[in-house]
Structure 1
């Protein structure tokens, strides 16, 4: 079947008018192919750069896609990134369609906060755009709090909390390669990273240790990947995002009145079921206070297929 790229991209662009007319951020998903006519294809904008990511071999269509994007916006750089499922070597999967890598932006900007980017990585270049409302929430609800950012990746959620007035943000991630990327964002935002702002290690080792040492936090960000890694420090076999075990640990680290914000990436349970699981896993020490999801650049009529975000509060017992 021939895909009418020009029509699809133009419609998607027009449907996001509220985003591209805003001066509060410069990055969003331009085209969400899963619900906008081309499953497996997503196009994202970071400043004047566009990333075209695809899971099927659409290389013959890339010139048309490039021209359609340039009709919508004067991009200085357009990069194609084919998934490894396409079956091609890396050099044949990632290349420029327009412009030069020297024009790649180092940072994305949202609500006056800067986040470092690495556009030439095959994995996410540093900022999950569906979590834009999460970063805004953190900037509005972190003042004076000591915040723990779990599975921190490039630290964007913790940085949003700090810019929102958090007195501390501790990032925990298994990858030691992320520290330099977090450092870039700290420097750009005139933040002091300190000696304990980033901990490289296994979450199943560090959380029980923190509990034993009596540590407490006023906010915890829990955004595990769709499938949590196996751990020699875990007494069980983690499945999926492993919320049950992780929340049982997080609830012991929260101060009364502290919040736990959970980001769900799952399709095997409804939102209500996921929230009930969280509350039960906390031994009923948490209550649900707020829910929200991604914005208009991630369109889907089925709310349970979108990013689901729930905020819980530690009950003062």
Structure 2
């Protein structure tokens, strides 16, 4: 095995051993910390290892390492490859411990931590229902949310909301314009017994909802995670600046924008 292969295998193995039962990103090649692996992210949705290849195909070296990891870790039930050169998406089950390859998409509730679950869908769309690279942000919010009012903008499936409520938030307002995402957000709160009076889930265009948000009592914490660009709704940096200015008006004195 080459030095490059050993690097990939070591990183994958260590991260899987640290979080064998929880959703996490176990290899972040797109962060450009690992030379020659810039096309690769690998995420762990127990019991599925989800390999995302952004350009071209997996190299023989990458495929060899992933096969070894699968064979060495019996808790991995399947390895799913998503090839995603923009704008195309192709999905293939590379390895599985079942007699037949499972049908796609793979949909199930995955553990975000020892207390929280989230619905995931693997093998159809680019987005899975979770962004595991936000894990440190989830934990920060859980540690700082007690008795706080939280505004979660571009909330997607509202994973941040789950952690805010786990941390004792007294109110969380989640806003996203995608109907399927807000439906999954409601389900995520239901499966964790968190869909109660503390939670609001709005299906709205955030940039067109200024007056409605401004009428709310001011917030202690605002989560702001927009897409780089979304045709017809978000224009990148110009709209981001506009939102930052608005968020300072939604925020209590001494509040935090994450």
**Is TM-score (shorter-chain normalized) higher than 0.5?**
yes
Q: Tell me what 1:264 maps to.
A: none
Q: Would the aligned equivalents of 1:49 and 1:105 in 2 still touch at CA under 8 Å?
A: no
Q: What TM-score results when the alignment is normalised by the length of structure 1?
A: 0.68
Deviation at 1:47, TM superposition (A): 1.4
Q: What TM-score results when the alignment is normalised by the length of structure 2?
A: 0.82
For 2:87 and 2:3, the matched residues in 1 are separated by: 21
Q: Would the aligned equivalents of 1:57 and 1:86 in 2 still touch at CA under 8 Å?
A: no
Which of 14, 25, 33 matches 1:35? 33
Deviation at 1:207, TM superposition (A): 2.1
Q: Would the aligned equivalents of 1:145 and 1:218 in 2 still touch at CA under 8 Å?
A: yes
Q: Tell me what 2:156 maps to.
A: 153
- The alpha-carbon distance between structure 1 residues 71 and 247, as it changes in their structure 2 partners (threshold 3 A), is same
For 1:4 and 1:222, the matched residues in 2 are separated by: 40
For 1:86 and 1:124, the matched residues in 2 are separated by: 13
Q: Would the aligned equivalents of 1:27 and 1:108 in 2 still touch at CA under 8 Å?
A: yes
RMSD of aligned C-alpha atoms?
Answer: 2.9
Deviation at 1:200, TM superposition (A): 0.8
Which of 26, 44, 51 matches 2:22? 26
Deviation at 1:6, TM superposition (A): 4.3
Q: Are 2:107 and 1:110 aligned?
A: no
For 2:238 and 2:196, the matched residues in 1 are separated by: 28
For 2:223 and 2:238, the matched residues in 1 are separated by: 14
Q: Are 2:160 and 1:163 aligned?
A: no
Deviations, residues 160-213 of structure 1 (Å, cap 9, x unaligned): 1011111121110111111221122112211125597111111111123332x3
Deviation at 1:105, TM superposition (A): 4.0
SS at match of 1:101: coil
SS at match of 1:67: helix
How many residue pairs were aligned?
247
Q: Are 2:81 and 1:77 aligned?
A: no
Which of 135, 138, 142 matches 1:135? 138
Deviation at 1:13, TM superposition (A): 2.7
Q: Would the aligned equivalents of 1:225 and 1:241 in 2 still touch at CA under 8 Å?
A: no
Q: Tell me what 1:276 maps to.
A: none
For 2:70 and 2:115, the matched residues in 1 are separated by: 26
Q: Tell me what 2:44 maps to.
A: 45
